Chain A
C-alpha cells in the first residue's frame, strides 16, 4: 500500500515538473510590436530678439530710431519715423525657433497678412516695400533681400492672434524663408533658431502716414 502511494506521488511530481517545463518554453515566444511615431513640431517667433535691434539708414538717409512699440524680445518691429524715398535695415527684427522630432526636418514660410494698412491713407503694397534677409553683420539697407508678399489665403484672427489658414494646402513656395533637414532633438533647447533682418525700401510716392502689417510665419514638417 505504501509502495503504491509512493509511486503515485512520484508520478504526480514528474507530471508537475513536465508541466512547469512546458510553461517555461511558452514564455520564450516573441511579439512583434509596431507603432506610428507622431511628429512633434512647434514654433515661436520673437521680434527684436537681440540687443542692437532697430533701424539703420543708408549713407545719405536721415538717421532713424526705433519707434516706441519696439521692445526687447517682443512688441512691434517699429521702424519709427522713416522718410519717403529711402532704404532702411531693421537689425534683429525677428527670430524663429522650431522644435521637432522629425528627422526629415521642416520648412518655415512667411507672408504678410495684408498690404501695409493705415487708418487714413488706405493700403500700400508690402511686396515692393518690406523685404527679409537672414541676420548677418554685413547686411545693409541695400543688400540683396527677398520681398514679403501679401497672402492670397484666408486670414484668421486679428491683432496678436492674426494667422493665415491654408486649408489642406501649404503656403506658396515663394514664401519659403527657411528649410531645415534634421530633427532638432539634441540641439540646445531642442530647437533650431534663425534670425532675420527686415529691409524697408520706401518709395518716394509713399503716403505720409502710419502704416502697419502682420508678417505671419508658418512651420510645416517635411
Chain B
C-alpha cells in the first residue's frame, strides 16, 4: 500500500511538471524580431481640389514662361531650353540572404509595410504575419519603439504616457484595435500558445492621422519578442 502511494505521488509530480504552467517555472526570452513600417501621409484633399480646365483658362497661372514650355513654337529667344535628354547613372546593389537560425521559433513576413495614409483612420489588413512556436509554453510580446521617460518621440509612436496613433489587431485572436505599447520593452503580451503548437497570425494595423500632422514620410519600428515558460 505504501508502495502504491509512492508511485501515485511520483505520477502526480510528473504530471505537474509536464503541465508546465502549473509548475513554478519562469519566462525565458528565446528570440526577438523587428519589423519597420514606412508611413506616407498624403496631403489633405481639401488643399488640392483641382481647377477645371475652363477655370484655368480664365485664370491662367501668372507664369507665361512655364506655359511657353508646353508649346515649343511659343519659345522666345529669352527662354532657356534644356538639352535633349536627361543623364543617368546607376548603382548595383547585392545581398546574400542567409537562413535565420531562430526563424523556426519566431519570424515575421511583411505584406504591406509601406502604409499610404490619409488624414483620419486608415486600416491595413494583414500588414504582416507573425509566426511563433516553441517546445514549451510560449508567449509573444510586442511594443513599438517608444520610451517610458516621456522623451520627445514623434508621430505615430510617441512615448508613454502619450498614447500612440498606431494600433494593432491579431486576426482570430483579438477583436478590436489596441494602441501599441510604447514604453519600451518588454511591452505587452500579444498572444500565447501551447508547446509545439505553431501559430501564424495576421496582424492588422490601424493608423489614425490627426490633422496637426504634416504630410510627409514617417516610420515606426515594431518589436516582437518570443518567450517560453520553463
Chain A residues engaging chain B, CB cutoff 8 angstroms: 34-45, 47, 58, 60, 67, 69, 75-87, 93-94, 96, 102-104, 113, 116, 127-128, 130-131, 141-147, 160, 162-164, 166, 198, 200-221
Bound Cα distance from A204 to B103, whole angstroms: 7
B86 at the interface (CB under 8 A from A): yes
Closest partner residue, chain B, to A70 (CB atom): B94
The B interface is mostly helix, strand or loop, or mixed, namely: strand
Q: Is the CB of B33 within 8 A of A204?
A: yes
Q: Is the CB of B90 within 8 A of A215?
A: yes
Q: Is the CB of B34 within 8 A of A142?
A: yes
Distance (Å) between the CB of A64 and the closest chain B CB?
10
Q: Is the CB of B103 within 8 A of A36?
A: no
**A83-B98, A198-B93, A210-B95 known; A216 vs B33 contact (CB < 8 Å):** no
B78 at the interface (CB under 8 A from A): yes
Q: Is the CB of B92 within 8 A of A212?
A: yes
Other-chain residue from B88, B94, B113, B114 in contact with A164 (beta carbon distance below 8 A): B88
Closest partner residue, chain A, to B79 (CB atom): A36
Q: Is the CB of A217 within 8 A of B89?
A: yes
The interface on chain B, measured as residues whose beta carbon lies within 8 A of the other chain's beta carbons, has a size of: 42
The 6 closest A-B pairs by CB, nearest first: A204-B107, A45-B89, A144-B219, A142-B221, A34-B77, A221-B82
B87 at the interface (CB under 8 A from A): yes
Chain B residues engaging chain A, CB cutoff 8 angstroms: 32-36, 38, 75, 77-83, 86-100, 103, 107-110, 113-114, 131, 145, 217-219, 221
**In the complex, chain A residues whose CB is within 8 Å of the CB of B75:** 36
**In the complex, chain A residues whose CB is within 8 Å of the CB of B109:** 203-205
Q: Is the CB of A214 within 8 A of B91?
A: yes
Other-chain residue from A36, A40, A212, A221 in contact with B93 (beta carbon distance below 8 A): A212
Bound Cα distance from A210 to B97, whole angstroms: 6
Q: Is the CB of B110 within 8 A of A203?
A: yes
**A58-B34, A69-B94, A211-B94 known; A36 vs B89 contact (CB < 8 Å):** no
Distance (Å) between the CB of A125 and the closest chain B CB?
10
Q: Is the CB of B145 within 8 A of A142?
A: yes
**In the complex, chain A residues whose CB is within 8 Å of the CB of B98:** 81-84, 208
Bound Cα distance from A183 to B38, whole angstroms: 33
Distance (Å) between the CB of B188 and the closest chain A CB?
19
Q: Is the CB of B96 within 8 A of A80?
A: yes
Q: Is the CB of B97 within 8 A of A208?
A: yes
Q: Is the CB of A87 within 8 A of B108?
A: no
**A146-B38, A201-B110, A208-B98 known; A218 vs B91 contact (CB < 8 Å):** no
Distance (Å) between the CB of B221 and the closest chain A CB?
4
Q: Is the CB of A35 within 8 A of B77?
A: yes
Bound Cα distance from A58 to B34, whole angstroms: 9
**29 pairs across A/B with beta carbons < 8 Å?**
A36-B77, A39-B82, A43-B87, A43-B88, A60-B32, A67-B96, A69-B92, A69-B94, A77-B93, A77-B94, A81-B96, A83-B99, A84-B107, A85-B100, A93-B93, A102-B82, A131-B38, A142-B36, A147-B114, A202-B97, A208-B98, A210-B97, A211-B94, A211-B97, A212-B93, A213-B93, A216-B89, A217-B90, A220-B82
**In the complex, chain B residues whose CB is within 8 Å of the CB of A77:** 91-94
Bound Cα distance from A103 to B88, whole angstroms: 20
Q: Is the CB of A41 within 8 A of B87?
A: yes
